[in-house]
Amino acid sequence: MKKFGLVFIGVVAGIVALVNLGPLLGLALSALLVFAGMHYYLKGGSTLSKVFWVAVGITGLLTAVANVPGFFGIIAIAGLWYVVRKWKQQSFVPSNQATAFSSDPFTNFEKQWQELNK
């Protein structure tokens, strides 16, 4: 049942992430505008250049607000990451192989050493 839940969450999160690729790209572009505005504002010397870069930063913030579905895409990507991490933590060893080998490496080594010395 756990596997079914992980598959279901993974499929839904994957669909949501794919549907929101456009807003994700818009959100990345707006983040780039905000970063550039802040960076060049701090480096700007004249008042006119600082006003221009503040305007660029505000434009980036407004476009980020317009790309709110991009935040749902980020949440969906985080959900996919969670599903993949949980899927890899589950062991898929059949029960007959799990009893054949001990988790203690020294026990396995001693068994193999005795087989070699026979």
Domain ranges, ordered by start, for the chain: 2-88
Complete DSSP assignment for 52-111 = HHHHHHHHHHHHHHHTTHHHHHHHHHHHHHHHHHHHHHS----HHHHHHS-S-HHHHHHH
| Between residues 97 and 71, the one the model is more confident about | 71
Q: What is the pLDDT of residue 58?
A: 95
First to last CA, the chain: 47
| Rounded CA separation 74/20 (Å) | 9
The type of residue at 41 is Y
State the DSSP code for 1. Answer: -
Q: Which two tokens stand for residue 108?
A: 């396995």
Question: Would the pLDDT of 59 be above 90?
Answer: yes
Q: What is the pLDDT of residue 30?
A: 94
pLDDT tens digits, 12-52: 999 999 999 999 999 999 999 999 999 999 998 899 999 99
| Between residues 3 and 54, the one the model is more confident about | 54
Is the pTM value of this prediction over 0.95?
A: no
pLDDT tens digits, 76-114: 999 999 998 988 887 555 555 544 555 676 777 778 778
